[in-house]
Amino acid sequence: MNSVNFVPMSGVKETNYHFPGQESKYKGKVRDVYKINGKLVMVATDRISAFDVVLPRAIPCKGQVLNQVAAKFLEKTKDLVPNWVEDVPDPNVTVGIACEPFPVEMVIRGYVTGHAWREYNDGKRVLCGVPLPEGLKEHDRLPEPIITPSTKAQQGHDEDISREDILNGRLISQEDYEQIESFTYKLFQRGTEEAASRGLILVDTKYEFGKVNDKIYLIDEVHTPDSSRYFYADVYEENQKNGIQQKQLSKEFVRQWLIENGFQGKDGQQVPEMTDEIVNSITDRYIELYEHVTGEKFVKHLDIDPLKRIEENITKYLNSH
């Protein structure tokens, strides 16, 4: 076994482990996923992506935040829908059931924010087959939450897709789609209630589902800063009334920084320089979100060599199972 690419305090940018029984390794945008003895071992790295592009620098603590927030909310929602998790042997690692993922992400929105606002502001009044009312301002609440699915691209950009196109293209059977649609509304309601208890508004989020032996599971992450967007509830109405931008607990501030510096993931555009100051500010925002969303103090695991710690904890788990 070996681990590479560790630079102290720079975050975990990549892993390159070789475990006994390892069948495969898949490198996602922000996760390294190992299949070992039929189980999925998912390592949340500190890579960060925006506009479907992995940015050049890792964000210390980001992987830990994602993994631990996801673990907490997967535990809190397992009464609504079964999920893939079996164990969390390390702050950056989750082990669970290897599911066959559905080829779409279920994006659900309660507000016209982010991608929805960019589309709306460009004059579109139908998003993923869902009609939107006239006269909305950025960050206005929608009359009711809407599901705006997207395809899951292996490379490049995810694409919006309508319910009708999913069913017509037989990407998912009608029975399965109706089930994950129902799960999506229930999960969003639970997430909304949980956020409200912390003085936050769950603005939008995405869920991914997979299947094993005809049983549907919630997979990947839930209600994390990478998959979700939050506003502060106490200032929301006042800010909307006065046309003040909402302070967001999400990755949107990273996207805004990129946009302001001429990058939206389009051909020919260069990612702006990520200074130490920018990297540290992103870490701080991720920790802020963790503490607000969970109501718990974040404990940094900034080991001298986090890659070694991760490797040792995975090995310990594998040896005991």
pLDDT tens digits, 248-258: 887 878 988 99
Higher pLDDT, 152 or 150: 150
pLDDT over 70, % of the chain: 95
In a domain, 4, yes or no: no
- Quote the CA–CA distance of 230 and 139 in Å, as a whole number: 11
Strand 93-97 with 53-54, pairing:
unpaired
Task: Say which residue, 1 or 245, is predicted with more confidence.
Answer: 245
- Res 2: pLDDT: 40
CATH of the domain at 189: 3.30.470.20
Residue 245 lies in a domain: yes
In a domain, 7, yes or no: no
- Write out the residue range of the structural domain in which residue 106 sits: 101-257
How many domains would you assign to the chain? 1
Q: What is the per-residue pLDDT for 147?
A: 98
Q: Could you tell me if residue 317 is inside a domain? A: no
Q: Considering only CA atoms, give the Rg of the chain.
A: 19
Residue 216 lies in a domain: yes
* 178-187, 245-254, 274-283, 303-312: range with highest mean pLDDT: 178-187
Mean pLDDT, rounded, for 295-306: 84
- Straight-line distance from the first to the last Cα atom of the chain, in angstroms, rounded to the nearest whole number: 19
Looking up tokens 């869902």 gives 130
The answer, yes or no, to whether residue 5 has pLDDT greater than 60, is: no
Please indicate, yes or no, if residue 112 is contained in any of the structural domains. Answer: yes
pLDDT of residue 226: 84
- Say if residue 156 is exposed, middle or buried (CB neighbours under 10 Å; 0-12, 13-18, 19+): exposed
Residue 114 has pLDDT above 80, yes or no: yes
Specify the amino acid at residue 68.
Answer: Q
Per-residue pLDDT averaged across 252-271, rounded? 90
Give the model's confidence band at 9: pLDDT under 50 very low, under 70 low, under 90 confident, else very high: low
* pTM of the model as a whole: 0.88
Mean pLDDT of 273-289: 91
How far is CA 275 from each of CA 10, 16, 119, 227, 319, rounded to the nearest angstrom? 12, 26, 31, 24, 41
Mean pLDDT, the chain, whole residue set: 92
- Enumerate helices (H) and strands (E) in the chain, giving the number of each: 8, 17
